[in-house]
Amino acid sequence: MSPAVWGLALAALLVLSRDWGCAQVAGTSGARKPSVVLILTDDQDVCLGGMTPLKKTSALIADMGISFSNAYVPSALCCPSRASILTGKYPHNHHVVNNTLEGNCSSKSWQKIQEPYTFPALLKSMCGYQTFFAGKYLNEYGAEDAGGIGHVPPGWSFWYALEKNSKYYNYTLSVNGKARRHGENYSADYLTDVLANMSLDFLEYKSNFEPFFMMISTPAPHSPWIPAPQYKKSFQNVSAPRNGNFNIHGKDKHWLIRQAKTPMTNSSIQFLDDAFRKRWQTLLSVDDLIEKLVKKLELLGELDNTYIFYTSDNGFHTGQFSLPIDKRQLYEFDIKVPLLVRGPGIKPNQTNKMLVANIDLGPTILDIAGFDINKTQMDGMSLLPLLRGDKNVTWRSDVLIEYQGEGHNSSDPTCPALGPGVTHCFPDCVCEDSYNNTYACVRTLSTSWDLQYCEFDDREVFVEVYNLTADPHQLTNIAKTIDQEILEKMNYRLMMLQSCSGATCRTPGVFDPGYRFDPRLMFSHGIWAHKLSTRSL
């Protein structure tokens, strides 16, 4: 047997020997399992036109596949959301609560308890996939107290991870555990383009015997919003949308929203308009990346057997309820994201209105690989039946949204009157977060209701409820006027979801026929527990 033939035989044997738990997916073409590409942007909204600059992406992914019009993140902040994507779990199960090491973002605990069981680790160890990561991982990745950039998480064959948070120039990459520093030369260092080139190189030189999974995590459109030189003059006449909740005072919302000054100062409006424009400019390079990637897959004959997912880690706001710029809030503009998918068996030009979440990505990709997702502890559901257009699919009617606020023990020098606990404050003393901006919500979408119910862990034990059918901009908090029975059921459902794990996160919601409500249990939690204890004092 010649060396070349022996090499081919050995490669095939290795694939077979590693393919322990993954069956071939019915309806897919070819002997090799489908490959998967996941493109993850950073802070890209969908409610405020975040997909508008991405003409090529829309044509190459959305028009050739399916767009999910109700895709949510369980926490509107980078690190918890990314941890949910990787683990398929809600934050209360993966325990990443904010962007700090203390909040479990890329901490030693995360590395020990969660990383070995992420879906890429299962793809590689159990399904024989070659795996490629490029871009932003978790915000504290590379921190000295967490192993530095020498730490390569299990599950990755090729690892090109950004040290810490999003940048466009002057950054360090971990290249399979070795530091590679980049400067500020556009042609060699602009991160979105570097990620595109690395991805094309992987596709060119990867093994042709194994299916592959690629995760490409761009800095755009996260701050500091530095566009490529050729796009610096794009969208000169564009400003942030003046939609129904722009520069509106949130009079019946939790205190952090109520403290925002309305109308906003001219300097704040100019700042957010400039940020909005630059965010769109940075996305034009992402659009170029998508075009190059799809063309390369087509050239290599891989496109027809590859699923391509496009989404963001959270939404963003620019002036809604007089908050200049950020995320972290419970409203649609922060928790709703784009989700586009094309691939084998997906019909073109589809829009799906089912309620989906980023905890579904891991189960979906494992399902594509043929792995039995019942063997995992993931909270999400496989989207594969929806992607294929299966009939009579039983689907959820609610998802959990949860966030633990950040805040400093000392007062912000620009906002001393607000006292300690606030953070991300603007010069005109509008603070975007605080330690008691801590909440949990049930986001419900059914044939009869489009509803959001939220409880805050603060002194007011504040409750916000919105009927998005009548009030899509969430202007009116109906917590005090909604039917008491619905309020009690939503409270009870929130209690169930906040303590759920795995299959129990997929039990029937309030407006599902199979829902069971035991009012005797609802007083053990949240606003109702507080009211009960207050009455007993």
Helix (H, G, I), strand (E, B) or coil at 441: strand
Q: Which residue among the candidates 22, 47, 78, 441 is catalytic per the annotation? A: 78
336's tokens: 């709703």
82's tokens: 């990314």
C-alpha to C-alpha distance for 123 and 125, rounded to whole angstroms: 6
3-state SS, 113-131, equals: HCHHHCHHHHHHHHHCCEE
Query: What does DSSP say about strands 336-337 and 71-72: parallel, antiparallel, or unpaired?
Result: antiparallel
Helix (H) or strand (E) holding 15: helix 3-18
Which residues are registered as beta bridge partners of 35?
A: 306
C-alpha to C-alpha distance for 382 and 443, rounded to whole angstroms: 19
CA atoms within 13 A on the CB side of 417: 4
Contact between residue 218 and residue 192 where contact means Cβ atoms under 8 Å apart: yes
- 368-396 burial, b if ≥16 CB within 10 A, otherwise e? bbbbebeebebbbbbbbbbbbeeeeeebb
Q: Is 78 a catalytic residue?
A: yes
- 218-246 burial, b if ≥16 CB within 10 A, otherwise e? bbbbbbebbbbeebeebbeeeebbebebb
273's tokens: 């308009």
Residues 6+ apart with CB under 8 A from 159: 133, 152, 153, 174, 175, 176, 177
Q: Which residues are catalytic?
A: 78
